[in-house]
A and B are shown apart, each in its own frame.
Chain A
């Protein structure tokens, strides 16, 4: 049994550094008393501080101390807590940090990560000369509001409660039960927020002729209540995270590997472009085709181009196949071009016009094609696919293209589909492939 710790503060580096009469002194001592009351193992406690006068405090604790960037203390605290859920993580930040780090304040409350946040709220930036902050009361005099503050004061408790904070308390540094309330906050499994109002004797107090007992009056005038303002637990984020993932835990599904088992008819790097519409499964059909090439002992690359919206506009995929390593992954002059829809045609008209005479263009027969030097093969792709499945246009087109070009054996394409796709989908795609491969045959019949 460890000895009872009588304090979590050290005087090794001297007394607390705050200005005479500064409220931070009282707050730090109240936090110490709260820790004495709770008696955690100091090795399991991290005091995380922000920039600002209160950020001078972490190093006076015998616990771990983490002093981070202005406004970002909550983010480090969340990282520490997520990585080591057994830690008691206490953030000390000022009202200034609540402004610059507003997004983190909202999001830690919303996520409900089990850290304790103590805001040492003295209505101005003490460290930089008494400028106004997000909590400076309207009419408050500061270095940057010499005519009186025309901004409204942020209600830190209401804001975090609205964002989802399950536990929130507002008080002052003079409250006799402050240490008990801090202890209550630390005991919460979820996010706990303490908005502790106090005196900046260097700047805010002299400028505003504030007296120590005025703090409660200020709360009343601003309509901001004191006391426990929320106490409604809900699952803590990290705990919930681990729980749902433990339930869903399963080995990573590795895709089946591809082994090069077929031959091919390519003697150089060859570019293939497939141009269609979103929703026609162009990208997945192209990926199956490229991987079929890999079954046929070819190297392959694939790049996709599509608008950021889904199910509308073009979908254009570039495949490169090569008997050797592919270095240059752009297609300056495609060997094969497949166009199956008006969207694809519109987006690639310039490319089609520029096709070389050695290239082949496979086009849906209903499309109005531009002039090109390429050999043109018009095919009833859409009509053929319609008989099978509207999502099979890409496979039908590539099946026809492969049958005509003979780049590699049709069996490689079949193997790609049946190995890499779920059985139900593979069956439809094998039908589509077969239908695509027969188009030219039947045209010749």
Chain B
């Protein structure tokens, strides 16, 4: 079979190989990432909790919840029932495990905080590093910080991300509390993007990673178009239209550029958790797995703004090879 066949097999193997690990990791995540003594999982990150108090609230809020309250599944009467672990806790241990689980995001804590800033249409093209490396972006007329928490949840928001690429649609979500990676500043000749060769209607980089192809007249390759359709069926309910993110999931179009193909596949196959941000595992979902390259190249094209928002206009025909592979995969 073709390269793709090999890849699918590889993906399956990855599922099997990582399955056990993923489960273990999830347990770890659940416990350390989100200490059960925290009041809500949103508040799992202390930073976030503090942030959210900055809301301009008319009038004073009522009695704050006693700290340490609410062991899960329990009722707390209004008495100081402090769970000793509640306050001090978790923190130390949390940090480590958070890092561990976030590893692929390349999100360090600084990034996380900075990227809470919401990008705003208009601020587009010019990311202004505010001493935070390339993740910081200017937010015009944006209300202060997004009272977010999720650590990796940062740049997500279409964070600087869409700014770098998006520009012309000028509508970044900026609302997600989850995040992935921030604004890709990528040139068309980037080795992760540039087409090195074509085979049966599929396009590849020099490193044999799937990529998109947009002709001079805007015609997209079949996979990019197919990826648009599959994305809108399987992913949109969390990640929003055109990969722009939603109020609770990151602008995945940026993740597709930043993460690299194999990490991207790994997360889709195995899922990932961060507090109350949960990416499910799609490893046994044919509607996703048989079109994983399609979705990947579509999102990558969106992430570097090679195609605008919305449905791609004209497309290449579906090749016999692609059709054959689809039939085999879908069974």
Do A and B assemble together?
no
A-to-B contact residues, CB < 8 Å: none
B-to-A contact residues, CB < 8 Å: none
